[in-house]
Amino acid sequence: MAAEHDAISDGVTCIRNADWIIAWDGAAGSHVYLRGGDVAWRGDRLLTVGGRHEGAVATEIDGTARLVMPGLINIHCHPTQTPIFRGMVEEFGNPRLFYSSRHVFRQSFVQDEAAQHVSARYGLAEMLACGTTSIVDLSHAYPGWLDLLAESGLRAWAGAMFRSARWHTDTGQDILLDWAPDLGAAAFEEAREVMDAAEAHGCGRLTGLVTPAQINTCTPELLRAAAELARKTGRTLHTHAAQSYAEFNAIAREQDRTPVEYMAALGFLGPRTIIGHAVFTDEHPWLLWPRRADLRLLADSGTSVAHCPTVFARDGTMMHHLGAYMDAGVTIAMGTDTHPQNLWQEMQLAETIARLAAGPRHSCSSARLFHACTIGAAKVLGRDDIGRLAPGAKADLVMADLDEPNMRPLRDPLRSLIYSSVGRAVRDVWVDGVQRVAAGRVLSIDMAAAARDLQAAQDRTAAATPDMDRVAPLSLPVSGGT
């Protein structure tokens, strides 16, 4: 704790004469480019964005050939689970319209507590290295979780997931539920304790998040209790919903409503509610449904959608189409969900899929997606001081190298970061004014050591998994010889 606070300078840090700045124009309600200006901060607050910073400067950084921008906000990630799956789940696909192959794998390849910890450690470092400064970490609570989040240096919302039933699927066409005897009451109480502990943590960067895991694994009573807790405490509310063909049909059979209509009837929707992933709404062309009300319900209630395209693309599904959600007034935020923990890749794929889904009616854009990864996420988290570069905002910022080869030729730095560099040009990251990445190296976590530990954890878990070669076969056969 002491060392961390000692790293916060009492003096002013100034990036001098940055070639490009992505600044927040409050009057226009949008990000804008500035050219050849300074970005300065004292402690955890920005002082100057653009123009010339006058006055004493304790630390000066040359902004030549640099882009300075706000840190990204990952609204939906599972770092305790997904990094260890690298090389195993990318090609399972979705032959029966649900996560059948991927979740059969997950039922076989079971991480122990140590593996979860090293997976999270690597995932947190990866997000920092890609220019993410704030995350919503959706995990089942495990020992040491909050201390690890604090150690990473990230600004984090700890979403301790709770539910009434565990789910699995055998056929891919339906969802099987194993109900807990107490229907999730103990898990809910544990989550309350975690939320309180997060907000009492000495690092000052952790917040609790009310997180019933999925609408179909929670009883209506548990979902109402979660929504009431969020209202009473002012916390953001999050659940997974409308995320599969099978879930949509199960809710429709039981409730004669879409998942979104069901949440509206429960009083679950609202301006501090995040729905991950809201892919299968009544607008989706794969669904036969007589009404078209879901996008209006989401927009009118102010509910946000956590859009994570990569994990759905791997399963052979996609949102139809992102621009329609935005045009309807639905607030979109972006998350990674799966690996890699790289929001630049998510933005690239989101834009590509939106165009494929909408064809000539597409209305998505790089600007809209960057807004989703910054302002859109900050809005649902109830923060007007992150996701933007403006005087008085938090000093959560990223500096990218415009001379990085994948950024050239340089016409539009945001497009180059999304479509060519895919974040490889990120060099320096500050959270709360404290540098967490310098010259591409994560300072708070030894990423090389984390990668070695992750490899060992994957090897150990694979060795304990029966019939591993069938559960997760290699992409090519192994030939004889050494």
Mean pLDDT of 328-349: 97
What pLDDT was estimated at residue 5? Answer: 40
What pLDDT was estimated at residue 442? Answer: 98
Q: Is the pLDDT of residue 3 over 50?
A: no
Q: Is the pLDDT of residue 482 over 70?
A: no
Contact 117, 142 (CB under 8 A): yes
Residue 177: burial class (beta carbons within 10 Å; 0-12, 13-18, 19+): middle
Can you read off the two tokens belonging to residue 333?
């935020």
The DSSP code for 355 is H
**Which domains, ranges and CATH numbers included, belong to the chain?**
2-70+392-442 (2.30.40.10), 72-380 (3.20.20.140)
What pLDDT was estimated at residue 274? Answer: 98
Question: For the whole model, what pTM was predicted?
Answer: 0.95
Contact 68, 39 (CB under 8 A): yes
Please write the tens of the pLDDT for every residue from 168-210. Answer: 666 656 677 788 899 999 999 999 999 999 999 999 999 999 9
Q: Is the pLDDT of residue 6 over 50?
A: no
What pLDDT was estimated at residue 19? Answer: 98
Expressed in angstroms, the distance from the first to the final Cα of the chain is 49
Please write the tens of the pLDDT for every residue from 222-248. Answer: 999 999 999 999 999 999 999 988 899
Q: What is the mean pLDDT of the chain?
A: 93
**What distances in angstroms separate CA 387 from CA 68, 309, 370, 398, one per listed residue?**
13, 21, 10, 11
Contact 118, 450 (CB under 8 A): yes
Contact 407, 329 (CB under 8 A): no
Q: Percent of the chain beyond pLDDT 90?
A: 83
Q: Percent of the chain beyond pLDDT 70?
A: 94
Q: Is the pLDDT of residue 134 over 80?
A: yes
- Residue 320 CA to residue 283 CA, distance in Å, equals 7
What pLDDT was estimated at residue 1? Answer: 32
Please tell me which residue, 4 or 390, carries the higher pLDDT value.
Answer: 390
Please write the tens of the pLDDT for every residue from 446-477. Answer: 999 999 999 999 999 999 998 888 888 899 99
- Which is nearest to 338 in space by CA: 141, 105, 174? 105
Which residues face 32 on adjacent strands? 23
- Residue 237 CA to residue 273 CA, distance in Å, equals 5
- Residue 449 CA to residue 99 CA, distance in Å, equals 32
Please write the tens of the pLDDT for every residue from 77-117. Answer: 999 999 999 999 888 765 554 445 566 677 788 899 999 99
Can you read off the two tokens belonging to residue 219?
């009883």
**The residue to which tokens 């999304």 are assigned:** 418
What pLDDT was estimated at residue 170? Answer: 65
- Residue 162 CA to residue 211 CA, distance in Å, equals 7
Contact 116, 160 (CB under 8 A): no
Contact 396, 71 (CB under 8 A): yes
